[in-house]
């Protein structure tokens, strides 16, 4: 029996490793006092569509139940959580801090780091409009990758309002502005040049420069004079504040501003960030402010969220020379007594009970093979402990 | 340069000029690469992957290469998220719809109601005819596409033309131009950040290398 494309099995050892990473992530989430939630794998197509951009809509697995209701598998967790919050947690005191570790499903060309079923861990901070919430999302993501063992991860930050402000100052609006934003997000300099020629926009060279720019306070200083709207100026101030706060944590060198970082344009309304390591060609985590999402579910509150791809972390770690000690899966092998096994389990040990009625020699051979450090053999009321 | 770069280089028509430009940009591409798949520049500053042109976008998207040089025609055909940071200007050609002169499509004769299109550029062809609401069958071929209308396999072809010589030789004419292609420098979006200084320097040098 073959599996369909884009999904995979997890065999015991690799699954243990995956669970370990998920536990590390959960621990970080708990220390930031986020409460874990879970939504169903599928729900009504209509509810999921409310939050999704065009790309994710095309990648949604859809089906009907026997009564003809249109259903869809979740492609990510933020939309279901927005639905959950607007429907079930409307009376909860804001801000709300919710986290998840859950699978998502997308119909895409299966490739490295991009499967049709994948696990995302993420956190949503709902009901806080300010820079504090944005800093919390970023710093929490940084701590998470650190905890997972990726201390060399770098983070790029931006605020979508900055590009808006610069483009508006250049005289672009509506559809032209959006088209231009897409080109900036793709960092498509060639198409930006063509756009410039066909639309006769003045001072477009600075927009191309902005697209290629990367730095810290230096680039804020360069871009400030180009920003004419109060929103874009405020956005620059916020980025500056985040850099200042990162410095106190000793993280300033790991953060850069990339004005072309816009992520999903339909989703993010302000602050955005992405985390990556140099040896992988795709990002590990990302997020930002999406104040427009909850209002689509009739609950007018701002929100910041971020997520990390669990499989992507595994891929990143796989490429490292991490100490691949054989894992001690079993602490003790017990033969012939339920009570002895129960007592060992009560100590919190991983206990394996012999169910094949093995002889003493066979038990020892098995323990050696499986690297089990202790064997307890109960025969006629006596318990013999052996180190194999 | 601060970081060592891995550059995807297309073999075939674009290779010679690509190597020349890289040399002009300060990357010492060896004279004779023979049949090797990877070469290190003589100064050790860059690793070159010698690839089929159509494979360049995939290597760059996954980050197996930090950046690459590839014709726009290849980018039309592949849906890869890579950043197109510079038009290097060389390798100019046009992707066109062409047909037998005798069919008169270039002079306004109507296409058959169901058009058969032979091409190596299936995606671009499909997009072009879909956008014009022309029902068609795309016949994917791998070479000598201009033969297909002559033997009745297709009504028109979608193919690249540089000088138009091949078309003339087969008594075919351009019906419409789909797009103009040149060599592009593409960059992996994450590597752009991870190797920012080295890549910006390479982009600038390659842009100036053509002048």
CB contact under 8 A, A282 and B84: no
Instruction: Kindly state whether A112 is in contact with chain B, defined as any CB-CB distance less than 8 angstroms.
Output: yes
Instruction: Copy the structure tokens of residue B28.
Output: 């010492």
Residue B100 above 70 pLDDT? yes
To the nearest whole Å, the CA of B47 is away from the closest chain A CA by 15
- Name the pTM for this structure: 0.88
Alpha carbons A239 and A255: distance in angstroms, whole number:
11
- B65 in the same domain as B12: yes
Q: Do B139 and B87 reside in the same domain of the chain?
A: no
- Residue B208: CB atoms within 10 Å: 11
Name residues whose C-beta falls within 8 Å of residue A86's C-beta, 6 or more positions apart in sequence.
Answer: A294, A297, A298, A299
Taking only the tens place, the pLDDT of each residue in B166-195 is: 999 999 999 999 999 999 999 999 999 999
Distance (Å) from the alpha carbon of B39 to chain A's nearest alpha carbon: 20
Question: Do residues A166 and A209 touch, judged by C-beta distance below 8 A?
Answer: no
Comparing alpha-carbon positions, the chain B residue that sits nearest to A281 is B63
Check if the beta carbon of residue A111 is closer than 8 Å to that of residue A221: no
Cis ω before A95 (30° cut-off from 0): yes
Q: How far apart are CA A304 and CA B158, in angstroms?
A: 48
Per-residue model confidence (pLDDT) at position B2:
58
Query: Can you tell me whether residue A222 is helix, strand or coil?
Result: helix
**Which of these, A50, A77, A99, lies nearest to A299 by C-alpha position?**
A50
pLDDT recorded at residue A88: 94
CA distance linking residue A79 with residue A296, whole number of Å: 10
Structural contact between residues B179 and B72, judged by C-beta atoms closer than 8 angstroms: yes
DSSP state of B110: P
Domain A12-153+277-319 sits in which CATH superfamily? Bira Bifunctional Protein; Domain 2 (3.30.930.10)
State residue A325's pLDDT score.
47
Of residues B201 and A265, the one with the higher pLDDT is B201
Pair (B173, B189) in one structural domain: no
So what's the pLDDT on residue A121? 98
Question: Is the CB of residue A264 less than 8 Å from the CB of residue A163?
Answer: no
Q: Which of B62, B83, B194 has its CB closest to that of A187?
A: B83
Sequence spans of domains, chain A: 12-153+277-319, 332-386
- Same domain, yes or no, for B86 and B189? yes
**How many independent structural domains does chain B possess?**
2
Stretches in chain A below the pLDDT threshold 50: 325
Q: CA-CA distance, A105 to A107, in Å (whole number)?
A: 7
Closest residue of A to B63, CA-based? A281
CATH of the domain at B60: 3.40.190.10
CB A354 within 8 A of CB A335: yes
Tell me how far apart the alpha carbons of residues A146 and A1 are, in angstroms, rounded to a whole number: 39
Q: Which residues of A touch B201 (CB under 8 A)?
A: none
Residues B24, B86 share a domain: yes
Q: How buried is B21 (Cβ within 10 angstroms: 0-12 exposed, 13-18 middle, 19+ buried)?
A: buried
- What range defines the domain where residue B61 resides? 5-91+182-209
Distance from CA of B81 to the nearest CA of A (A): 8
| B97 and B85 in a common domain | no
Mean of the pLDDT values across residues B17-43? 87
Shared domain check, B41 and B84: yes
d(CA A62, CA A286): 26
Q: Check CB contact of A136 with chain B, cutoff 8 Å.
A: no
Q: Which residues of A touch B80 (CB under 8 A)?
A: none
Provide the mean pLDDT of chain B: 92
Mutation for A interface: B4, B189, B204, most A CBs within 10 A: B189
Q: Number of Cβ pairs closer than 8 Å across A and B?
A: 57
Q: Give Rg (Cα) of chain A.
A: 26
B18 and B87 in a common domain: yes
pLDDT (mean) for B87-104: 95
| Dihedral in degrees, nearest 10, Cα atoms B16, B22, B28, B29 | -30
**CATH topology assigned to domain A332-386:** Rossmann fold (3.40.50)
Q: What is the distance in angstroms between the Cα of B203 and the nearest Cα belonging to chain A?
A: 11
Residue showing tokens 């197109």: B84
Assess whether B150 and B106 both reside in one domain: yes
Q: Which pLDDT does position A327 carry in this prediction?
A: 61
Domains A12-153+277-319 and A332-386 belong to one CATH topology:
no
- Residue pair A165/A266 in contact (Cβ under 8 Å)? The answer is no
pLDDT confidence of residue A13: 86
């Amino acid at each position: 029996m073959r599996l369909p494309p884009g999904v995979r099995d997890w065999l015991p050892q690799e699954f243990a490793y995956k669970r370990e990473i998920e536990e590390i992530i959960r621990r970080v989430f708990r220390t930031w006092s986020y409460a874990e939630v879970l939504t169903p794998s599928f729900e009504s197509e209509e509810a999921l569509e409310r939050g999704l951009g065009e790309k994710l809509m095309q990648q949604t697995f859809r089906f009907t139940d026997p009564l003809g209701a249109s259903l869809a598998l979740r492609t990510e967790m933020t939309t279901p959580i927005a639905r959950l919050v607007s429907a079930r947690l409307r009376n909860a005191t804001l801000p709300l801090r919710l986290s998840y570790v859950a699978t998502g499903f997308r119909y895409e060309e299966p490739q490295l780091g991009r499967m049709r079923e994948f696990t995302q861990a993420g956190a949503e901070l709902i009901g806080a409009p300010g820079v504090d919430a944005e800093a919390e999302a970023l710093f929490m993501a940084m701590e998470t990758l650190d905890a997972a063992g990726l201390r060399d991860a770098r983070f790029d930050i931006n605020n979508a309002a900055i590009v808006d402000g610069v483009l508006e100052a250049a005289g672009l609006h509506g559809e032209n502005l959006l088209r231009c934003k897409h080109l900036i997000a793709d960092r498509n300099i060639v198409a930006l040049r063509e756009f410039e020629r066909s639309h006769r926009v003045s001072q477009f060279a600075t927009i191309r420069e902005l697209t290629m720019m990367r730095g810290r306070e230096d680039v804020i200083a360069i871009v400030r004079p180009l920003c004419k709207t109060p929103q874009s100026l405020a956005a620059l101030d916020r980025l500056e504040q985040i850099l200042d706060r990162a410095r106190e944590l000793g993280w300033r060198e790991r953060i850069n501003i990339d004005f072309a970082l816009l992520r999903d344009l339909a989703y993010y309304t302000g602050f955005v960030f992405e985390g990556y390591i140099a040896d992988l060609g795709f990002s590990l985590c990302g997020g930002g402010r999406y104040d427009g999402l909850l209002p689509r579910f009739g609950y007018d509150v701002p929100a910041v969220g971020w997520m990390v791809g669990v499989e992507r972390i595994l891929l990143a770690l796989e490429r490292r020379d991490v100490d691949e000690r054989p894992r001690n899966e079993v602490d003790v092998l017990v033969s012939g007594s339920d009570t002895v096994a129960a007592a060992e389990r009560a100590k919190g040990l991983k206990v394996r009970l012999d169910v094949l009625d093995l002889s003493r020699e066979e038990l020892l051979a098995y323990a050696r093979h499986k690297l089990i450090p202790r064997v307890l053999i109960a025969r006629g009321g006596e318990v013999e402990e052996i180190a194999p | 340069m601060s970081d060592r770069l891995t550059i995807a280089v297309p073999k075939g028509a674009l290779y010679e000029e690509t190597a020349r430009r890289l040399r002009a940009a300060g990357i010492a591409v060896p004279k004779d690469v023979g049949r090797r798949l990877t070469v290190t520049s003589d100064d050790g500053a860059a690793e070159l992957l010698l690839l089929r042109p159509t494979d360049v976008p995939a290597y760059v998207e996954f980050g197996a290469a930090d950046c690459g040089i590839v014709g726009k025609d290849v980018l039309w055909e592949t849906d890869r998220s890579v950043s197109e940071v510079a038009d290097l200007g060389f390798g100019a050609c046009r992707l066109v719809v062409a047909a037998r002169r005798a069919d008169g499509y270039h002079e306004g004769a109507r296409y058959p109601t169901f058009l058969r299109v032979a091409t190596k550029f299936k995606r671009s062809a499909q997009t072009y005819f879909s956008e014009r609401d022309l029902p068609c069958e795309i016949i994917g071929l791998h070479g000598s596409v201009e033969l297909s209308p002559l033997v009745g396999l297709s009504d028109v072809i979608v193919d690249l033309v540089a000088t138009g010589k091949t078309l003339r030789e087969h008594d075919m004419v351009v019906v419409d131009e789909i797009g103009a292609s040149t060599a592009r420098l593409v960059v992996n979006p994450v590597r752009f950040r991870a190797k920012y200084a080295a890549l910006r320097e390479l982009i600038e040098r390659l842009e100036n290398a053509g002048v």
